[in-house]
Amino acid sequence: MNSEVILVVEDDFLNRRLTKKILLENGYHVLEAKNADEAMMTLQNESVDLVILDINLGDGEMDGIHLGKLIQAKQKTPFIYLTAYENARVISEAVATSPYSYLTKPFKNSDLVASVKLAIIKSAKEDRIKPTIAVKDGAYQVDLPLEAINYIESEGNYLLFHTDVKIFKSRSTISRILESLPATQFIQTHRAYIVNKEKIQKYRSKSVIIGNTEIPLSKKDLL
CATH class name, domain 132-216: mainly beta
Structure confidence at residue 169 (pLDDT) = 94
Q: What is the CA radius of gyration of the chain?
A: 21
Positive/negative CA dihedral, 28, 21, 123, 65: negative
At position 154, the amino acid (one-letter code) is S
Structure confidence at residue 219 (pLDDT) = 65
pLDDT along the chain (223 residues), means of 10: 87 93 95 93 91 86 86 83 81 86 90 93 74 88 91 95 94 91 89 94 91 85 48
Structure confidence at residue 38 (pLDDT) = 94
**φ and ψ at residue 127, rounded to 5 degrees:** -65, -35
Cα distances (Å, whole numbers) of residue 177 to 40, 127, 142: 34, 23, 16
Report the C-alpha gap between 91 and 192 in whole angstroms: 39
Q: Which residues of 33-59 are buried (b: 16+ CB within 10 A; e: fewer)?
A: bbbbebbbebbeeeebbbbbbbbbbee
Report the C-alpha gap between 153 and 150 in whole angstroms: 10
The closest alpha carbon to 9, from 60, 77, 56, 74, belongs to 56
**3-state class of 116 per DSSP?**
helix
Extents of the domains making up the chain: 5-128, 132-216
CATH class name, domain 5-128: alpha beta
